[in-house]
Homo-oligomer: A and B are copies of this chain.
Amino acid sequence: MEAIKSYIEQNQEKFLNELFDFLKIPSVSADSAYQADVQKAADWLVSRFGELNMDRVEVYPTEGHPIVYAEKIIDDNRPTILVYGHYDVQPPDPIELWDSPPFEPVVKDGKIYARGACDDKGQAYMHLKAIEVLNQGGELPCNVKFIVEGEEEIGSDHLEEFVRKYKDMLSADIILVSDTSMIANDVPSITVGLRGLSYVEVEVTGPNRDLHSGVYGGAIDNPINILCEMIASLKDPETGKITVEGFYDKVEELSAEYREEMGRRPFDRAAYLADLDMADTGGEKGYSELERASIRPTLDVNGIWGGYIGEGAKTVLPSKAFAKISMRLVPHQVSDEITDLFVKHFQKIAPSSVKVEVRPHHGGEAAVVSTETPGYKAAAKAMETSFGKTPIPTREGGSIPIVALFQEVLGLDTVLMGFGLDSDAIHSPNEHYGVFNYLKGIETIPLFHKNFAELAK
């Protein structure tokens, strides 16, 4: 324990510089303009793994972005930890809102500012450094395997094929992932629940060309107005419930006990609103903010566009309007089923004056992980040691579809031991990750390896 701490202290500058090199590569998976950079990030990881004397380091190309695989097998009798992470990042826009360039990492007030600093380059790279730490003590306590993919931010479209194809190579006893957050730096927590996702793009077409709003305005329906009306109708104005038929059919209703226990999680509503500079929250009636953001499904428009959006005024009655709409799902809701329900519903509510097309993007299943597994216990004990506090099991609002995938294909539980904070602004301008959190992760992960070696015997 002391050896780990002192090694980290002596090497923290090196650890930070290595992460900075990683963050400088703009590996934006959603935008094909960055394709070469995504490849570059994969190659960079290969070199870093090379320095950790793994038995095997390989890049597996996919039809999308490549998957980096690495492994070190000490002894077939020891338990095996399969670490998952991703090296791709969200697009940086709106880029003008960044205080410093998204791909030129800087440390301010003890925080690393850069796209991917927390999600997930910073958190994924902790696991490589944890191996470096363990290497100092000689043999690794467990066998270790790594999958670091480049398509998490666009739905891990080619991961399932890879996992199915290399099922045997990936055999392990537990999946370990750091891609979630804790309640606070002095309130460690482990995520035991995640929401699923259904994501669609809709296109509403009115007239076959843009028209003059004076000549045609009033006579025909405007596809932007229609799209707004259709989107507005997706939520009940009274209850805030989503109106898509069948949407709630499989939603898990949680016990009063669970909701009460969950309610004990510290939540300062005033501070929450102040941080967002909002006067009020909003959403489904009858549930708290924490509940609405974790155990309840949602429907959010992630993007909308149509007509003239340039400088000045243009009196156009546009031909088309578009929106990107995503739904966060809770356990038992099935992503593909919800997507189908949405497509049917959206087609059904379209007036006869427009044509509607709905293009499904990626989806993912919700997941709940048990606190009774050796994996969870090893993580809880590790955090207890490094933070000096027993972590709280929490449900998160985000989605990590691979948890359900690993459960189904590899039959493995996943431990979601994340070190980020909800305030890290992931997916937003000025994403950041605490230097404390980065180093604390590098300190805690080796303890997990040691504990798991004991508990999984």
Contact = CB atoms under 8 A, between A and B. Distances in A.
Interface string A196-212: 01010100001111111
Given A91-B308, A218-B296, A225-B235, 12 more contacts: A97-B210, A206-B278, A207-B277, A209-B276, A213-B298, A220-B281, A229-B232, A232-B232, A278-B353, A279-B352, A279-B353, A302-B314
Interface in A204-241: 206-222, 224-225, 227-229, 231-233, 235, 237
Contact of A399 (B214, B284, B292): B214
B215 A397 contact: yes
A158 interface: no
B302 A324 contact: no
Given A298-B218, A304-B321, A207 B284 contact: no
Nearest to A216: B293
10 contacts: A93-B308, A94-B210, A154-B312, A218-B292, A219-B397, A224-B231, A225-B299, A229-B231, A307-B324, A315-B399
A218 B313 contact: no
Given A221-B282, A428-B211, A428-B212, A307 B303 contact: yes
Interface stretch (A42-50, A249-257, A405-413, A419-427): A419-427
Nearest to A351: B282
Interface in A107-149: none
A449 interface: no
A301 B228 contact: yes
Interface size class of A (residues with CB under 8 A): 35 or more
Contacts of A324: 307-309, 313-314
A180 to B, nearest CB: 10
Contacts of A281: 219-221, 353
B210 A427 contact: yes
A91 B310 contact: yes
A254 to B, nearest CB: 14
B290 A219 contact: yes
A242 B90 CA distance: 40
B280 A353 contact: yes
A235 to B, nearest CB: 7
A195 interface: yes
Interface in A322-348: 322-324, 326, 328
A311 interface: yes
A310 B361 contact: no
Contact of A308 (B228, B278, B302, B309): B302
Contacts of A277: 207-208
A318 B303 contact: yes
A290 B181 CA distance: 59
Nearest to A362: B313
A430 B208 CA distance: 12
A354 B280 CA distance: 8
A328 B153 CA distance: 43
Contact of A218 (B227, B328, B425): B328
A309 B303 CA distance: 5
